[in-house]
Chain A
Amino acid sequence: MPTSQRSFIRELETLLGASALLSSPEDLLLYEYDGSIEESRPDAIVFPSRQEDVVAIVTLANRHNVPIVGRGAGTGLSGGALARRGGIVVSFSRMNHILEVDPENRRAVVEPGVVNLDLSRAVEKYGLYFAPDPSSQKSCTIGGNVSENSGGPHTLAYGVTSNHVTGLELVLPDGKLLRVGGRTVETPGYDLTGLVVGSEGTFALVTEITVKLLRLPEDVRTLLAIFDSLEAATNTVVEITARGITPAACEMLDGWTLRAVEAYVHAGFPVDSAAVLLMEVEGLREAAEAQASEIEDVCLRHNAREVRRARDARERALLWKGRKEAFGAIGRVSPSYYVLDGVIPRTKLTPTLLRIEEISQRFGLVIGNIFHAGDGNLHPLILFDHRDPGQFARARAAGSEIMSLCVEMGGTLTGEHGVGMEKNELMPLMFSEADLDLMRRVRAVFNPADMLNPGKVLPLGKGCGETRLQPLPVSATGEA
């Protein structure tokens, strides 16, 4: 570590106290990962307890020209919380307080380190909840959700994080504090809140978040439909949409994946089937019942072998366990896997899955599919052994090919995991050099010296002295 860096760390320690700082090599090791297997080691980790600490940290880092990366729970799947160019990681784990719950106006004000599910639990007594529900919701933080504009199974009906955030308090890279938005449904002027949500920590550090809360539905119906052909399952998804039904969630597992999951979770998936659809409708009792019956009808018309309905909360939890713990199940059967996150128009599900199968055979790699079928958000899982460099390279190449395929189908590179350092070099698949340059200039409005989360979202400039990194595969630690 250069002398200037050491003096910076000493100053940080003076500022915040030794208990708010980690810098030993063994500590740093723990922060060189997130939910991906991207790796990059920071020089120090700081733990602010309040907004003033964040301002002080940023001001100091600014003076020393040290990059800053915000971090929530480190569950991200695109390397968003990694210190790609070193510098300090600002961990928000101590800023984890729910500052205010306003049930009448259905708002909550939270610090960024509040765990997603903790907020929903805290407001349950008012009959409310926070809608974005990434599968990592037991551990991921709302600050992380804001950075990545996270989704989850239920975003099909309720939208992603940006649909649920009305205001933010920001610390800009020069240490200035800025409030954007507020508690009301809109604020006159440019929608800076909408711009900052999903900026993957490259515009500002977020120190306070005002979110909308939704009313818990009166009734929930969960259905599992079992299919003997993948095509029948995907056609069912399209038909449900065409009939005007918007399920709260509509998840698909293909045959290979459901067998791997069943062996571990015992959710009751028939291991000889080709695909299952896990669907949920919710709302008013009468509406949920009418939609559930209609979905059942569509499934049977598309030759579903069987449609099961969860009879109680326990059965519902079991069905969801098969979905939410799927990634853990895959981890048992493969040393590593690479979770992709692409979106295609849902009408292209069948041809896309066939092409993925073809890619799987051509690369000689197993690719499982478990995804948010209702909104066409694919999560192909490429299995490989990271100890075998040949497999590693093939997984990477297959991943890139699948992402290109999603764009070719009229879709996008990421539906909810973010671009991070995993896909920033793939951005030219969707955006022209001029588009990317405009985004770079917008980033510079907030972060002119590129000191906040450098090396993320946008492709690295050719002349900046850094080798263009290839997107790396992701390990079995992640969830989707």
Chain B
Amino acid sequence: MSQLAPSLTARLADFVSPARVVADASSLAACRVDGRSPSAILQPNSAPEIAEILRFASAEQLAVIPVGGKTHLGIGMPPRYYDLALDLSRMNKILACEPRDLTLGIEPGITCADLDRELREKGQFLPIAPPFENQATLGGIVAAGIDSPLRYGYGSTRDFLLGIEFVTGEGLVSKSGGRVVKNVTGYDLHKLFIGSLGTLGIITRLNFRTFPLPPRRQMFVIAFDDSSRAFEFCRALVQSPLDPKVLEVLDPKTAALFQSRGAKFLPPDSWLVVIEAAGHEAALARHERDLAVISRETRAAGFVSLGESQRDPLFGCLSQFPSIALAATPTAAIFRVPALPSAIPTLLEKVRGLAGDCGLACAILIRALGLIYVALLSSEQSSLEPMAGSQLLNCSRSMVELFIGNGTLPTIERCPLEVKSALGVWPPPGDENEIAMRLKRVFDPQEILSPGRFRGSI
């Protein structure tokens, strides 16, 4: 833990009322990032207050990390320094909600579950269904670049974040984008903030395009004896006129994890394709009919149309994949790898082969046919024993080499600190790193915001 001089601690109370400066041991421990704890936690109420704090922090060279639900603080590299946690959970208001305009303005600290409840009452939703939704905040989910099972149908945050307000490292209150559904005025600075892990600024307001709740929805699970048939099915689906909102592929290990987490009805030992369609009854009936045909043509082993009581647990499992993998093996390493649909089947064969060679199990989820999540877990035989650190490290290293050797850019989203320290979690910096560093210095010249956590040592 870094230790602030007592005079500095006293001065923090100039910006935030003393009741909102927290420094007890358990609170500090809860804000730990990769083993580092802050010296104090500040709970600001407004953007101007954050601006004052950051001006002070910049002047004093204090490293600041924004925290919300503290559910995704493990993402990224360990911070180089960490003095202050900026806890945004008090900034949790809905500032504007106009269902007839499909627009929403919120503070960053509102939890995904609370927002979802409010929106549903108005017949709306945001296609953000993150892990730990009861604690995870919208600001955190955007800053950590977390996606959801709805990505296939609705895209990622980039596609429905209309604008943000933020405070830069120097304490400048600024904004980008707008509050209406269509806007090209000025530079799209807010796109930089998505997945930036708090390295550019503190988000103080987010404006989203919302979506009307569909009248009905229907989830389908199609089982296959092997991966090649599952992907053949996906290719046929993509070429059909069908318009699913969820399209995820699970390997047998992931299916087994989900079975043990509330989706007992899933067929065992199979590759599963999970699809959800939304809309009017006739459109859902059409999906059911055509999906059954494609399933037969691609020799599926099973085709199930889920009832609502089965749908919710399975959807929950899909969105909770990282937390389920971590529950199975607390030291799991979870890779996130964007890949082209055509490259996925071969890549997965190699991944599974490699994990087997390392004596580890792996659980795979393919999101929206464009993103591979691989969790390296302890193998079945030794599931009660912790994974040997060196085994995980060696396998993770080979895995990174495998992905990079196949032209993809892997990120290790979750892993033990030893793996982070040895391998880094980001792919090596690319040619764009010089520009990225210069952008960082524009937003945060003193480099006090989440220093060192981002790609390219930013």
Contact = CB atoms under 8 A, between A and B. Distances in A.
Interface of A: 102, 104-107, 127, 148-149, 151, 155, 159-160, 162-163, 178-180, 182-192, 194-195, 197-199, 215, 217-218, 238, 241-246, 283-287, 289-290, 343-347, 372, 375-377, 410-419, 423, 427, 430-432, 434-435, 438-439, 441-446, 457
Nearest to B336: A188
B187 A415 contact: no
Interface stretch (B1-9, B98-106, B349-357): B98-106
Contacts of A423: 185
B100 A410 contact: no
- With a 10 A CB-CB cut-off, give which of A159, A344, A372 has the most chain B CB atoms: A159
Contact of A284 (B184, B239, B241, B338): B241
B123 interface: yes
Given A190-B192, A195-B188, 17 more contacts: A148-B184, A184-B409, A188-B427, A189-B436, A192-B436, A195-B189, A198-B184, A284-B243, A285-B286, A289-B282, A290-B283, A347-B98, A375-B181, A411-B180, A415-B180, A434-B173, A444-B442
B280 A151 contact: no
Contact of B282 (A102, A199, A242, A286): A286
Contact of A414 (B102, B183, B443): B183
Contact of A151 (B173, B180, B182, B368): B182
Given A162-B188, A290-B279, A416 B212 contact: no
Contact of B214 (A104, A178, A244): A244
Contacts of A439: 186-187, 189
A197 B338 contact: no
Given A162-B188, A188-B426, A195-B191, A430 B178 contact: yes
Given A195-B191, A434-B172, A187 B338 contact: yes
A427 B172 CA distance: 18
B122 to A, nearest CB: 10
Interface of B: 98-103, 123, 145, 155-156, 158-159, 168, 172-176, 178-189, 191-192, 194-196, 200, 212-215, 235, 238-239, 241-243, 279-280, 282-283, 285-287, 338-342, 368, 370-371, 408-409, 411, 426-427, 429-433, 435-436, 438-439, 442-443, 454-456
9 contacts: A102-B342, A184-B339, A198-B184, A198-B187, A283-B241, A284-B283, A416-B182, A419-B184, A434-B172
Contact of B280 (A127, A241, A290, A418): A290
B439 A445 contact: yes
Contacts of B101: 241, 345-347, 376
Given A435-B175, A439-B189, A287 B279 contact: yes
Given A184-B370, A242-B100, A160 B340 contact: no
B453 to A, nearest CB: 12
B432 A290 contact: no
Given A191-B192, A443-B187, A445-B439, A287 B283 contact: yes
Contacts of A446: 435
A189 B455 contact: yes
Contact of A287 (B243, B341, B342, B370): B243
A430 B186 contact: yes
A470 B368 CA distance: 48
A185 B186 contact: no
B100 A347 contact: yes
Nearest to A105: B340
A375 B180 CA distance: 8
Given A186-B338, A347-B100, A191 B191 contact: yes
Q: Which 3 A-B pairs have the closest CB atoms?
A: A244-B212, A194-B191, A184-B338
Nearest to A429: B185
Contacts of A414: 183-185
B155 A343 contact: no
A198 B432 contact: no
Given A343-B182, A431-B186, A195 B192 contact: yes
B155 A163 contact: yes
Given A194-B191, A438-B189, A238 B100 contact: yes
A160 B177 CA distance: 14
Contacts of A104: 235, 341-342
Contacts of A244: 123, 212-215
Contact of B342 (A105, A189, A215, A410): A105
A442 B214 contact: no
A446 B434 CA distance: 10
A107 B408 CA distance: 16
Contacts of A432: 174
Nearest to B411: A188
Contact of B185 (A199, A238, A372, A430): A430
A219 B394 CA distance: 52
Contacts of B176: 435
B324 to A, nearest CB: 22
A159 B213 CA distance: 19
B187 to A, nearest CB: 5
A438 B370 CA distance: 34
